[in-house]
Amino acid sequence: MSNIILTESAAKRVAWIAERQSRPAILRLAVDGGGCAGFTYKFELAAQADADDEVAETDGVKLVVDPISLDLVRGSAVDFVEDLGGAAFKVTNPNAQSGCGCGSSFSV
């Protein structure tokens, strides 16, 4: 099993955003302290992967995660979902013991 997975849907969305911003198709996932459940996910386009990053690639799009964040999201899948509530990147994290209603905060 991979340490982290970028779904095809998420890869397409990253490629779309990167193309419009004339940036590389590299999505960085980081975990910050805070949020209503203890940790929050943070997404941003990255210029490049750092030497110690974990890298997952789907359809030429890269997902990069730093070593500290990887400990909290190992085994996760990053997806892009669109529903009545809007459109967003979503992390399915098997390490999360609990989450919150907004879906962007979790605890381990």
Q: What is the pLDDT of residues 12-45, one digit of tens each?
A: 999 999 999 999 999 999 998 876 667 888 999 9
- Decide if 77 is inside a domain: yes
pLDDT of residue 40: 86
Residue 58 clears pLDDT 90, i.e. is over it: yes
Q: Which domain holds residue 45?
A: 4-103
Total structural domains within the chain? 1
pLDDT of residue 70: 95
CATH number at residue 44: 2.60.300.12
pLDDT of residue 15: 98
Query: In the chain, where do the E strands start and end?
Result: 4-6, 26-33, 39-45, 54-58, 61-65, 76-83, 86-92, 98-99, 105-107
Bridge partners of 78? 6, 91
- Decide if 99 is inside a domain: yes
Threshold 0.85, pTM exceeds:
yes
- Decide if 108 is inside a domain: no
Radius of gyration of the chain (CA): 13
Q: Distance between CA 15 and CA 20 in Å, rounded?
A: 9
pLDDT of residue 38: 76
In tens, the pLDDT along 78-98 reads 999 998 888 889 999 888 776
Look at 39 and 55; give whichever has higher pLDDT: 55
- Decide if 39 is inside a domain: yes
Bridge partners of 3? none
Look at 105 and 63; give whichever has higher pLDDT: 63
pLDDT of residue 29: 96
